[in-house]
Amino acid sequence: MDFEEVLAHYSKPQVREEIAEYCNGRWVALEGLERSGRRAFLRYTRGGTPLTINKPENISLLLRRFRYFKPRTIYASVNSYGKLENREDTEDPANIMKTMPVWDVDASLNSWEYAVKASEVIIDRLDKERLSRSVYLKWSGRGIHIHVHGEAFSQKILERNNPLDVAFSVVEYILRKTKDQLVKLAAKAPQTEDRPLKIENKIDIKRVFTAPLSLHRQLDLCCVCFKQNDIYNFSPEWAEIENYRHDPSWKIYEEGEGDQLAEKALAEIGGYDGWPETPKRRHIRVFAETMKVPTRAAVKEAAYRKLGRFQVMGLLQAARYYLIKGDIDLAKSFGLNRAIFYAWAKRHARDRLTRGGRRLRAETAKTKAAELRTEQIGNETAYLSPRGWFIIGGAEQSARDYDQQIAKRIEAAAIPYKDAWEAAIDYLKSFSGDVLLDQQRFYREVYRPVRDNFHTVIKRRSKIGEQRTLDGY
């Protein structure tokens, strides 16, 4: 197709309307070619403003504005944003309003039937999790994207968790539950060199997927949507540009339908692992190739990965409170509260670190000062909510929040939380009471020396424990 034919496709009323509705509120990307023939991926204007499409007429304006790149494919972010005026808006966790969970099933035209079978496995699992009305599929030309509408999660869930944490956890959770089935399927799929069957979690803060009815970047096909009840009828011919078959009902959703699954997924996965200082985890990825089972030695070698500073601060502050006050639930609340305090001070209140996700923003209604109580921990003063939890920025931190944001993230680094807690208690017992009661000394003498290597403290203690057990025999 030449560029005039591309413009003709994007001038069709249904194409314009579907793309505009899908892209509304999202960060858009255009793919074209540089004069050298290399692929060009455009996401900003020359002035640094993120590209957006909020109404049909924006499409032709964008395509003609960047016509020297001959843009062909339109993508949109998994995130919907409150505003998109500068680069910082795309990086601010508090600006993320919704995020779509998307499972990426990569394939080729030769293995499309296996992409459909893999999608069936994922859809069946979603159905068991009582999530179906808000689900739709897209055939991009070389694979299937399984989407859950961003509106499937209620505000109640999103007030407590960043939308990106929800989407990432849901995708990873479902892949964990379906991995065995997908591995068996991948083993039967054609092992082509060009695009073998591949199923993975690609959710990240800048991830984009092809917009409905957008052209494929290479093939003369367009991206079509269909619902799961039509999956048995699907054929790649649906994506033919002049005779496409597309279901506009991808817009249908049921608010709150995904809440139960989100709660389970967050409890097991713990959220998005791409935030600063969050330990990276190995994601579930399934390929159409020989699946190697890791040896016990390899599993042992992978243990005790580095912890993020946020988790180290939360753990040590919780242990500190417990040694001083003896209340385990309030210790957890205090630990998370102090971790947020130091991260807030350093990162200008990056709201994703709170229990409420976006609740540190100034415009959020805050608890009246008259309703707050204070508690003295040595020479440090902290605020308590009317319900008795520590509070900062108008959001309280409960023991459950600590388990989600500290304990689960420690477990995600292949460290049993029980081992981490016991190591923290032992480590703090090596300091005098004066150090634990002094805020500045605790930071300088206790936290700072181990903030980047506390996993080695845990490992050292574990080895000592193993040796003592062996000595007992």
Point out the residues of the chain with pLDDT beneath 70: 191-194, 277-305, 347-371, 462-473
For 227, the domain range is 3-287
Q: Are residues 320 and 244 in the same domain?
A: no
Q: Are residues 358 and 230 in the same domain?
A: no
| Secondary structure (H, E, C), the chain | CCHHHHHHHHCCHHHHHHHHHHHCCEEEEEEEECCCCCEEEECECCCCCECCCCCCHHHHHHHHHCHHHCCCEEEEEEEEECCCCCHHHHHCHHHEEEECCEEEEECCCCCHHHHHHHHHHHHHHHHHCCCCCCEEEEECCCEEEEEECHHHCCHHHHHHCCHHHHHHHHHHHHHHHHHHHHHHHHHHCCCCCCCCCEEECCCCCCCEEECCCCECCCCCEECEEECHHHHHHCCHHHHEHHHCCCCHHHHCCCCCCCHHHHHHHHHHHCCCCCCCCCCCCCCCEEECCCCCCCCHHHHHHHCCCCCCHHHHHHHHHHHHHHHHHCCHHHHHHHHHHHHHHHHHHHHCCCHHHCCCCCCCCCCCCCCCHHHCEEEEECCEEEEECCCCCEEECCEEECHHHHHHHHHHHHHHCCCCHHHHHHHHHHHHHCCCHHHHHCHHHHHHHHHHHHCCCHHHHHHHHHHHHHHHHHHHC
Q: Are residues 230 and 331 in the same domain?
A: no
Identify the pLDDT of residue 354. Answer: 36
Q: Are residues 357 and 244 in the same domain?
A: no
Q: Are residues 160 and 244 in the same domain?
A: yes
Q: Are residues 370 and 457 in the same domain?
A: yes
Identify the pLDDT of residue 286. Answer: 67
CATH code, 50: 3.90.920.10
Identify the pLDDT of residue 24. Answer: 97
Give one word for 277, left, alpha or beta, with left for phi > 0 and alpha for psi -120 to 50.
left
Assigned domain for 292 exists: no
Identify the pLDDT of residue 128. Answer: 95
Q: Are residues 254 and 112 in the same domain?
A: yes
Q: Are residues 328 and 370 in the same domain?
A: yes
Identify the pLDDT of residue 352. Answer: 40
Number of domains in the chain: 2
Q: Are residues 91 and 36 in the same domain?
A: yes
Identify the pLDDT of residue 350. Answer: 39
Q: Are residues 280 and 313 in the same domain?
A: no
Identify the pLDDT of residue 460. Answer: 80
Q: Are residues 233 and 349 in the same domain?
A: no
Assigned domain for 295 exists: no
Distances (CA, A) of 114 to 118, 136, 191, 233: 6, 18, 11, 14
Assigned domain for 299 exists: no
Q: pTM, whole model, 2 decimals?
A: 0.64
Q: Are residues 260 and 395 in the same domain?
A: no
Identify the pLDDT of residue 33. Answer: 86
Assigned domain for 198 exists: yes
